[in-house]
Amino acid sequence: EIVLTQSPGTLSLSPGERATLSCRASQSVSSNYLAWYQQKPGQAPRLLIYGASRRATGIPDRLSGSGSGTDFTLTISRLEPEDFAVYYCQQYGSSPTFGQGTKVEIK
Amino acid sequence: EVQLVESGGGLVQPGGSLRLSCAGSGFTFSYYEMNWVRQAPGKGLEWVSYISNSGDTIYYADSVKGRFTISRDNAKNSLFLQMSSLRAEDTGVYYCARGDLGYCSGGSCYSHYWGQGTLVTVSS
């Protein structure tokens, strides 16, 4: 099983700032099959990124994914109020696993 | 518009059983591989089970193998999860989820569309 470790656990930032979220895999993720999700309280997760860097439909270009192999990053270039949430990475190159999440909170 | 609506959650005693359902609409259900994903209260996401579009291929997480059974009825655009020998650690919100055509790899998918979830509570 591939273990995904997300860091930091919590990111305290102000609107307009840049957010950098990390997802590190215990072994290489096949074909960079890595997705990112956003989840707000009481809501289902929302797909943001798949294939490590491909934005899902309707996702603004201030969100971007990068990385390969074992190290992946989600970047939010300028935080908007609606971006404060919990973010999860998921690998689907083998039996699916999720990271433990990074909470982006308002500073 | 793609919609997934789960039902069947509730309170059940340890060792009991429950059957979850998920009704899909707004897409050709029989084309898509489907998954169940769960989330314990205040915790992260955990993949539970996968079923191919035809129902011929099925996978389970080790934590539920031998206790849960996934199935589907394409004629009724429905996905099911039969849960038995339930434990306290099975408590959580269960989501039905759909990926995108051609983007599953050996039964492993990302999930583009999610239902609103149904809460399962295992407690005496």
- To the nearest whole Å, the CA of A40 is away from the closest chain B CA by 12
Rounded Cα gap, residues A11 and A79, in angstroms: 12
Q: Do residue B104 and residue A47 have CB atoms under 8 angstroms apart?
A: no
Quick check: A25 pLDDT over 90? yes
Return the residue in A59, A95, A102 with the most chain B beta carbons within 10 A, the one to mutate for interface testing.
Answer: A95
Structure tokens of A29? 């993720």
**Residue listed under structure tokens 């939010």:** A76
For residue B76, name the pLDDT band (cuts at 50, 70, 90). very high
- The vertex-A98 CA angle with A96 and A102, nearest 5°, equals 165
**Residue B76 identity:** K
Going by C-alpha positions, the residue among B17, B19, B18, B48 that lies closest to residue B34 is B48
Residue B124: HSE in the Cβ half-sphere, 13 Å Cα cutoff: 3
**Residue A31 identity:** S
Nearest CB among B61, B95, B110 relative to A90 is that of B110
Rounded Cα gap, residues B64 and A60, in angstroms: 37
Quick check: B17 pLDDT over 90? yes
Contacting residues of B for A51, CB less than 8 Å apart: 103
Q: Do residue B44 and residue A31 have CB atoms under 8 angstroms apart?
A: no
Q: How many CB atoms lie within 10 A of CB A82?
A: 10
Rounded Cα gap, residues A101 and A6, in angstroms: 6
The pairing of strands A86-91 and B45-51 is: unpaired
* DSSP-derived 3-state class of residue A79: coil
For residue A8, name the pLDDT band (cuts at 50, 70, 90). very high
* CB proximity list for B16: less than 8 A, separation 6 or greater: B84, B86, B122
Q: How far is CA B86 from CA A75, B19, B20, B66, B119, in A?
A: 39, 11, 13, 11, 14
Q: What are the tens digits of pLDDT across the range A48-86? A: 999 999 999 999 999 999 999 999 999 999 999 999 999
A14 touching chain B per CB within 8 A: no
Residues 50-109 of chain B with CB under 8 A from chain A are: 50, 59, 61, 95, 100, 103-106, 108-109
Q: What are the tens digits of pLDDT across the range B20-64? A: 999 999 999 999 999 999 999 999 999 999 999 999 999 999 999
Q: Do residue A94 and residue B108 have CB atoms under 8 angstroms apart?
A: yes
Residue A33 pLDDT: 95
